[in-house]
Structure 1
Amino acid sequence: MLFMMIVKASKNSEAGNLPNPELIESMTKYNEALVKAGVRVAAKGLHPSSNGIRLSYPEPGGKPVLTAGPFPETAELVAGFFLIDVKSRKEAIEWAMRMPDPQGHGEGQIELRQVFEAPGQTSKHL
């Protein structure tokens, strides 16, 4: 089963503030544990929304409207993600619970979401 652990943005991540060395070390160890367990598919951090572009479709069938960042609502933004391939929802939750505070300022928030897979397709075959 594929799950995405979505690391939500914060004021610090949107300001481009990098984590302190202790958090970087903790996240490195966490990443190594995911790899060693054979569950990590991908993991990436994202640039702040000031470097982003949002496409919206205000009219059905209409052309998209482009809006350049930054975007004001950090609660709606993503700072990074981990894609993991696990045997169950319970295992995905266990891995998410092991992640250090991804922001390191008491602002961390992780959203765990299962990824749709094609019928009959198992995630190990992606």
Structure 2
Amino acid sequence: MPKYLLIMRGTDESNAAMMANIDEMMATTRQFIEEMVKAGVLLAAEGLDDPGQGVVVDFSGEAPVVTDGPYGETKELFGGFFLLDVASKQEAVEWAKRVPAAPGSKIEVRRVPGSDEVPQVDE
């Protein structure tokens, strides 16, 4: 079965709304994860630390440049993910529509190509 990544993308406003109701959001998220486990579709789920704790390695120059987060002009930040093993993109979308998310958040659905789909380099 194909794998799909449900990428949680939030804004400063949606992240603040989530933090204002963090206990309720965590309980709802735990319940959602349990539903995915019972359905046999969840492979992994992780949240990410505050963007201010990260760094960016920028390869646009001759040598990589490391800059401390947050990420300047970025309006939507990747906050975590669910990795699902489902039969179709539509099934992944149906799960994405059920993600407990704060208003203003977005869930990006991306297929994870299998190893047989990655271009091979002749040696």
TM range (shorter): 0.7 to 0.9
What secondary structure is seen at the aligned counterpart in 2 of 1:63?
coil
What secondary structure is seen at the aligned counterpart in 1 of 2:26?
helix
The reply to whether residue 107 of structure 1 matches residue 104 of structure 2 is yes
Q: Which residue of 2 aligns with 1:124?
A: none
Kindly provide the CA deviation profile for residues 80-126 of structure 1, in whole angstroms up to 9, marking residues without a partner as x: 1111110111111111111122xx3x122111111121117xxxxxx
1:31 aligned to which of 18, 22, 33: 33
Q: Which residue of 2 aligns with 1:71?
A: 71
The correspondence of residues 72-91 of structure 1 with structure 2, limited to 5 A, is: 72-91=72-91
Q: Which residue of 2 aligns with 1:123?
A: none
Q: Give 5+ residue unaligned stretches, structure 1.
A: 121-126
2:49 aligned to which of 47, 56, 80: 47
Q: Which amino acid aligns with 2:82?
A: F
The count of corresponding residues between Structure 1 and Structure 2 is 115
Deviation at 1:71, TM superposition (A): 1.4
Query: Percent identity among equivalent residues?
Result: 35
Supply the distance in 2 between the matched residues of 1:30 and 1:74 (Cα, whole angstroms). 28
Deviation at 1:76, TM superposition (A): 3.9
* Alpha-carbon spacing, 1:31–1:92, altered in 2? closer, same or farther (3 Å): same
Deviation at 1:24, TM superposition (A): 1.6
Q: Give 5+ residue unaligned stretches, structure 2.
A: 118-123
Kindly provide the CA deviation profile for residues 16-41 of structure 1, in whole angstroms up to 9, marking residues without a partner as x: 93643222211111000011111111
What secondary structure is seen at the aligned counterpart in 1 of 2:34?
helix
What is the aligned-residue RMSD (CA, Å)? 2.3
CA contact (8 A) 1:8 1:75 kept: no
* Alpha-carbon spacing, 1:4–1:24, altered in 2? closer, same or farther (3 Å): same
Supply the distance in 2 between the matched residues of 1:44 and 1:18 (Cα, whole angstroms). 20
CA contact (8 A) 1:10 1:74 kept: no
